[in-house]
Structure 1
Amino acid sequence: MNIGCIGPSDSIAIVKDVIDRCCPEITLNTYIRERADDSWEVLDECQRENQGILFSGIAVQEAAKARGTVTLPYEHIPRGAYSLLRVLSDIQRSGLKPSKVSIDVVNDDILVEVVKEFGVEFENIHSMPFALHHCEEDYQQRHEDLYETGQTDAIATGFGYIYKNLKQKGLPVFRLYASTLQIRDAVSLLVDKIHTKSLRSAGIAIQLIKLKSITRSSINQYDDMKNGGIFYLELLEYVRTIQGSLFNFGTEEYVIFATRGIIEGQPHQEHFKRLLAWGRKRNIIFASGIGIGATAFEAEKSARKALDNAMQLPEGGFYIVTGKQLRGPIGETDELEYKTHVVDARLLEMAKETGISPSYLDKIKALMNKTQKDTFDASDLAACLGIGQRSARRVLKKLLDSGHAELNGVETARHVGRPKRVVRILI
């Protein structure tokens, strides 16, 4: 297994030593960047050559994610209680008292744990946990200011870049290194993620795409053919990027065969959202359903179910069905995940009493969990579920009539119009 490690040279040397001794089945490829903020520069190269990424610390990881796209499984090596205890011991061995210290990267809960569990007493400690909006220069300046004003006697840093700079200036700086146990734990987590992705990628994915804006009017026939041709060229580029196979049935429906690992990835979903936006600008509206399964038959059956839901979207969009889980509209504000086949006894009983399908009740339940609210009027529920107000009123009425909802009040509009009933759903 090839794993890439990104970080400063001193941290990478320790990681390499641990993996060479403890993990002979792993080939570690190293990508050195002394500054955490520069880690993104080697991200693409690392992802081309490896199956997973091990970041030497949280700062390196977050800096890479801030300016690049991480598509492989990844893990970072944390700095825990053992790292802190070791650096405090280093400070004491140097002849300094580890009671007035400035420390970065380590979380405050780790400090509290060390104080409670090991009885370490600090006279004056300045904690600077990692925060993405602070660059390395911010942490370095803070360390220097505290030392120069006499508030600290020693500096503990998890940044290799800061350690080298302060060492050159002659300041009493000490390096927070990861322990062997922390490195092995991080590697173990990463290997599990790589194996999980490999298993997930083995499934079959089928994507159905259906054009909605094609008409059969003889007046618009030429424009329809032209739009269909333009769309086909754009679709070919999309299929190429996901390494799929494209088949078309007439001028309105297309089938794409791909692997689960690629089609479920965030880059694929972002690409398809851009394709949807491209079509909407040109009034080429289409819907798509993605089905994932162990066999082609299972994947196509799921894709049809997903497409049926997508076809109800006026502006197009796409859904994904995996097993019994339906998710969508993907990337939209009203995206939800709920079951297509419900086995929950309570929801099944509720479906009998209300006349609403179990899967639709599960969809409402997912909406309530997502919005953290249980009270709706018809217009609010319609907007959240992507249905018409008349349909939303029917749903609320069925819930009220069956005792699975209660009326919380009536809002009377200032202008002419139907009063709004505010209903609390009891799921």
Structure 2
Amino acid sequence: MSANGRAYEESHPWITFNFETRSLGEVVWAHLGESYSKCQHLIGAPLQPRVAWDLARVYMRRGALASAAIEGNTLSEDEVNDILDNKRRLPESQQYLEQEVLNVLNALRSVRQEVWESDGAFRLSPDWILGKHSELMEALDVAEHVNPGAYRDVAIVVGNYRGAPAADVPYLMEELCRWVNAILDDAASKRDRTPDQAFFLVFFAATLAHLYLAWIHPFGDGNGRTARLIECAILAHCGLVPWVSTNLLSDYYNRTRSRYYERLDAASRSGDVAGFVGYSALGLRDQLREQIRAVQDHQRRVAWINYVHERFQSEPSTDTARRRRAVVLAMPDGEPLSRKQIRYLTPTIAEMYDGASERLFRRDMSKLVELQLVEEVSSGKYESCIWRMDAFTPRPELGVFAPVLEQLPPEPAP
């Protein structure tokens, strides 16, 4: 035991409540810079309310399931959706799996509500952490040494890792909150910090809180879920990360579970805290890239629908025009289709062409080609021209950013 009476200083010398950002390489800073930029793009992205709600629901459920899955939960995303959307009930022997995921979801919802009601300032406190642990362990059949919403009072070993001495846990949790709050205060200092610098500090606070709680292991069970929830809450409260992105890291940790455990182990075994922070920074960047693509796909589709309707403004409002418009809007992106495939794209289109001659179908396709909404890529094979919405996509074959407008047909007459 050390001179000041804290056993953890000898048993867990890596718990120092100190992190030197100078230990991060240039690549990590690049990942963080890109992540900040992508968060701002998402914050400013226009989306239809229903689509935004659907995306938020998908990512919150996925993150909740991921956090539970890391701890051994075996439910699939489809099963969770079936439980939540269709009120499916699992067999009694599997209901604890459902409860684990529901608890994470409910804890995330409570964080979201706190963000909505917040004045912008978030203070991590032992009481807040204890409350969230209680939510995460609600209605679960736990071992005798596990007390939901209370620190453990026994030694604990998980795999090859031994948690900090139980007698030191309350002190360590107070110190963790003090340290994290100091980083958040630094991030909130508008006089000294630009928004991107504030984002970096908030990210450090979130990932370090996650790492240190895993090191301290203050609870008999549920430490990982609590650590990942804290990480999400810190990101959610900062005002620099959209809610839909705050839980992305849980999904990343689950996808790369073996690497996640390796980084946690290396951080304590060899003091490679920068390795864990860098691993998390890479994951956030990659997950944000996926989110940006999902948002862009929707925006691209909306732009295409609007453009198709615009091209048909000069056409008579007839059943023929409606049929042609339905065909082009039903065609998938980047997939050449035969005449037969197009005629049966949807039940509605199949009904429109029921009994129609091949000549009528060819006239329809010729008109869509004339409007440059469809192109014939080979004999009898057609493809949607939705690529015209990619206004600034580089064209490698030309060696330039090809102006799409040069390839468009004349605008319809007013």
Q: Tell me the TM-score range normalised by the shorter chain.
A: under 0.3
Greater RCO, CA 8 A, separation 6+: 2
Q: Per residue, is there more helix in 1 or in 2?
A: 2
Query: Scaled by the length of structure 2, what TM-score is found?
Result: 0.25
Query: Scaled by the length of structure 1, what TM-score is found?
Result: 0.24
Asked which structure has the greater CA Rg, the reply is 1
